[in-house]
């Protein structure tokens, strides 16, 4: 290695590397490299290439694309990662998940955690966050935060379980069924750049899409907050797990379910009395308040927030059925029309995420009891049914058939229909006209069958297919 920049940090010393990275904060790559006389670099184009590649080549002068399991600064054991952010005033949010490394299905099946390529490469991360700007050269983008990140012990326990969950699916010959909803903080994602790549997997003749291990977007947000030392005083008050030793004995899911166990079979009035909160069916966000109290958090459940777990309350009728279909947020037909790949579509992301269902059931006397609580991720076969509805919806939108979208009779899992405050609640269509807001729904019969079939099992994880006749999200 040669050049003035390269002599400004010791590539064998993690502290020296981090110190050099922190020089970037408040500056663009152009500003710092030009002052060193290194703005021209043979293999870097001013207008092409990712920020991460330019950061490695132009600023640190290292070669990107190290072998699997070898960190970028191999002698220091430090892996360099950059992440785009969106900034609104003092609020800094990750623009996307943080991709760490590709999954080699053949290798991960034979790995254990401590010797895994993932752990060898990512145990000591040097993170560089920059502000994303449309139509701006990567060398002009401003860095807003930089520093090393070592996973806290309680986070690491969850991440290890996530990795083991992904490995278990590969070992079971189900790499093609891997979902980001399977795990908490560490997901197995597809990306635009390789979503169509199909790989051979061990233990199955079915080929699987190429995936990468990535930290979920909400977890990356939590890293940003912790690196900036924001909200640290209130963090413990909003954590479900107060003592990390709990994770040595039980999984996170078991811990959460156990919080609800004493209240199973009790009415909402009885639960309110035990928790010391004023009962009232008409109180705004009452279900969310009760759930927070049960989980022992003040404002939000940090672990669930970081894992992008959506909490839903569901109401079953006396017979275990449900009166209405289950709605999801309204979609923008202009944006939906532009989606071309199901694997990276907004609708897949919406249905693929993990849910925590808090299920209530009406008694004959009209009171509502807590029936059960479960974590759920939509099964692969059901997700494929939603894909069919998505494909047909996109096709009809392109045909300007805005009021003729897939109905409940067209698919046994999902359909499309209006979901606005009233008939005047409209959104702009691709042709400029105003149409009623619509959303994806899960069919009432489908949900009733799935929920009712498992309703007698208290506190058990199930392949339940989503429901949200009443809904809330903590936080």
Q: Quick one: 220 and 254 in the same domain?
A: no
Residue 379 has pLDDT above 60, yes or no: yes
State both tokens at 171: 């070992």
Last residue within a domain, chosen from 166, 200, 227:
227
Same domain, 217 and 241: no
Span 332-348, average pLDDT: 92
**Phi-psi domain of 459 (left: phi exceeds 0; alpha: psi -120 through 50; beta: other):** left
Tokens of 325: 């279909």
Both 216 and 74 in a single domain?
yes
* pLDDT score of 175 more than 80: yes
50 and 194 housed in the same domain: yes
Query: Is the model's pLDDT at 211 over the cut of 90?
Result: yes
Same domain, 248 and 151: no
Are 327 and 377 in a shared domain? yes
For residues 161 and 98, membership in a common domain is answered with: yes
Going by C-beta distance under 8 Å and a sequence separation of 6 or more, which residues neighbour residue 85? 92, 93, 94, 95, 129, 130, 131, 132, 144, 145, 224
The residue from 227, 245, 263 where one domain ends is: 227
Residue 91 shares a structural domain with residue 170: yes
State whether residue 345 is helix, strand or coil: coil
Residue 220 and residue 156 share a domain: yes
Structurally, how many domains does the chain consist of? Answer: 2
CATH number of the domain at 310, please.
3.40.600.10
pLDDT attached to residue 456 = 35
The predicted pLDDT at position 67 comes to 66
For residue 28, the 8-state DSSP code is B
Higher pLDDT, 232 or 45: 232
State whether 242 and 223 are in the same domain: no
Sign of CA dihedral 51, 54, 59, 63: positive
Per-residue pLDDT at 471: 35
Q: In this structure, are 339 and 206 located in the same domain?
A: no
pLDDT number for residue 269: 92
- CB of 129 within 8 A of CB of 120? no
Does residue 297 share a domain with residue 210?
Answer: no
Expressed as residue numbers, the domain containing 93 is 5-227
Tens digits of residue pLDDT in 431-466: 999 999 999 998 888 877 777 644 333 333 333 333
Per-residue pLDDT at 466: 33
Sign of CA dihedral 301, 465, 98, 123: positive
Report residue 2's pLDDT band, with 50, 70 and 90 as the boundaries.
Answer: very low
Mean pLDDT of 157-171: 98
Q: Which structure tokens are listed for 425?
A: 């609640």
Domain boundary among 185, 205, 227: 227
């Amino acid at each position: 290695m040669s050049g003035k920049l390269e002599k400004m940090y010791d590539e064998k010393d993690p502290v020296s590397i981090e110190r050099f990275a922190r020089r970037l904060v408040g500056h663009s790559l152009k500003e710092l490299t030009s002052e060193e006389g290194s703005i021209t670099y043979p293999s870097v184009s001013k207008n092409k290439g990712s920020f991460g590649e330019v950061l490695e080549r132009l600023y640190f002068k290292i070669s990107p694309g190290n072998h699997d399991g070898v960190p970028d600064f191999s002698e220091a054991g430090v892996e360099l990662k950059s992440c785009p952010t969106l900034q609104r005033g003092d609020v800094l949010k990750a623009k996307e998940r943080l991709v760490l490394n590709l999954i080699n299905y053949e290798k991960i099946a034979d790995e254990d955690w401590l010797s895994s390529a993932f752990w060898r490469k990512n145990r000591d991360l040097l993170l560089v966050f920059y502000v994303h700007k449309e139509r701006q050269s990567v060398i002009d983008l401003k860095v807003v935060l930089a520093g090393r990140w070592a996973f806290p012990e309680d986070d690491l326990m969850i991440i290890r379980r996530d990795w083991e969950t992904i490995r278990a699916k590969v070992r079971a010959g189900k790499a093609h069924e891997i979902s980001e909803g399977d795990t908490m903080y560490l997901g197995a994602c597809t990306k635009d750049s390789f979503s169509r790549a199909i790989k051979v997997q061990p233990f199955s003749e079915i080929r699987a899409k190429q995936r990468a291990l990535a930290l979920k977007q909400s977890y990356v947000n939590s890293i940003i907050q912790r690196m900036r030392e924001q909200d640290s005083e209130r963090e413990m008050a909003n954590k479900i797990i107060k003592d990390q030793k709990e994770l040595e004995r039980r999984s996170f899911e078991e811990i959460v379910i156990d919080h609800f166990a004493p209240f199973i079979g009790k009415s909402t009035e009885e639960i309110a009395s035990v928790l010391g909160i004023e009962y009232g069916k008409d109180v705004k966000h009452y279900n969310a308040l009760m759930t927070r109290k049960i989980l022992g958090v003040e404002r939000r459940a940090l672990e669930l927030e970081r894992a992008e777990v959506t909490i839903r309350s569901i109401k079953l009728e006396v017979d275990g059925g449900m009166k209405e279909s289950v709605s999801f947020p309204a979609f923008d037909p202009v944006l939906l029309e532009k989606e071309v790949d199901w694997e990276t579509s907004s609708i897949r992301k919406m249905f693929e995420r993990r849910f925590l269902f808090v299920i209530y059931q009406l008694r004959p006397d009209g009171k509502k009891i807590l029936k059960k609580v479960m974590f759920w991720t939509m099964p692969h076969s059901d997700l494929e049914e939603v894909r069919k509805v998505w494909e047909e919806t996109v096709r009809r939108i392109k045909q300007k058939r805005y009021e003729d979208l897939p109905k409940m009779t067209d698919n046994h899992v999902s359909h499309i229909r209006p979901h606005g405050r009233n008939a005047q609640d409209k959104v702009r269509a691709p042709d400029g006209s105003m149409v009623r807001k619509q959303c994806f729904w899960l069919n009432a019969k489908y949900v009733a069958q799935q929920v009712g079939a498992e309703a007698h099992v208290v506190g058990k994880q199930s392949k339940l297919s989503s429901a949200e006749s009443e809904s809330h999200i903590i936080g």
